[in-house]
Amino acid sequence: MKTLRALNDKELVELYTKGNNSAFDILLKRYEDKVFSYLLYSVKNQELAEDLFQDIFVKIVVRLKNGQYAENDKFSSWMMRIVHNHLIDYYRTFPTERIISNDESEVDLFNNPHIAVNENREQEMIDQQTLQEVKSLIALLPDPQREVLLMRVYDELSFKEIAQKTNCSINTALGRMRYAILNLRHMAFERGISMAS
């Protein structure tokens, strides 16, 4: 039998969606350098790149668990579309920041904003439909996880700021955010609530 490291991306995704978390760890290790390097190149700020990387990691987890990865797509291309769209969303939120397009990337959606716009319209519809349900789920989270999630999502604090306010390490803040999202996803699944992102 093949070891996890010997499996291709599609096989790892299939295992992960069936509950094998180690399969996603292999996928993350396989692409984290590429994703983080691209983010750092784009934003020219280590702390911001780390924050964006964590947000993208959570988004990829939720989408995989929601079955939003099409098997006919190359995983790396699918993942990089999420990375690009997340950066585009960031620059729309902070329009004074300079947008950098990387033409060497295999998928350059900075030069194809139509895709990101369509995705944003879909996201707005999802947000409107699930906002109240998600708020009720957030209230059920353990206090440390709920605190970090609210600071990150509603107060838009960096993980460094969250760590300072909650008197914990940045890694602890990141971990609480990760588990908050995973717990929300689990509770939403149990209640039949879509948390597509």
CA angle 180, 181, 187 (to 5 degrees): 90
Q: Are 12 and 78 in contact (CB under 8 A)?
A: no
Tokens of 4: 């996890």
User: What DSSP designation does 141 have?
Assistant: S
Residue range(s) in the chain whose domain bears CATH number 1.10.1740.10: 7-111
pLDDT of residue 129: 53
Q: Which CATH architecture has domain 7-111?
A: Orthogonal Bundle (1.10)
Residue 167: φ, ψ to 5°:
55, 50
CATH no. for 122-191: 1.10.10.10
Q: How far apart are the first and last CA of the chain?
A: 35
Nearest to 148 by CA among 157, 139, 140: 157
With a cut of 50, list the residues of the chain below it in pLDDT: 1, 97-119, 121, 197
pLDDT of residue 123: 52
CA angle 79, 85, 89 (to 5 degrees): 145
26 three-state secondary structure: helix
Query: What are the tens digits of pLDDT across the range 151-160?
Result: 887 777 888 8
pLDDT of residue 115: 41
Neighbours of 189 (CB within 10 A): 13
pLDDT of residue 170: 85
195 three-state secondary structure: coil
Residue range(s) in the chain whose domain bears CATH number 1.10.10.10: 122-191
Q: Give one DSSP letter per residue of 40-108, joined into a string.
A: HHHH--HHHHHHHHHHHHHHHHHHHHTT---TTS-HHHHHHHHHHHHHHHHHHHSTTSPP---TTSSS-
**Which long-range CB contacts under 8 A does 110-114 form with residues at least 24 apart?**
110/84, 113/88
pLDDT of residue 106: 44
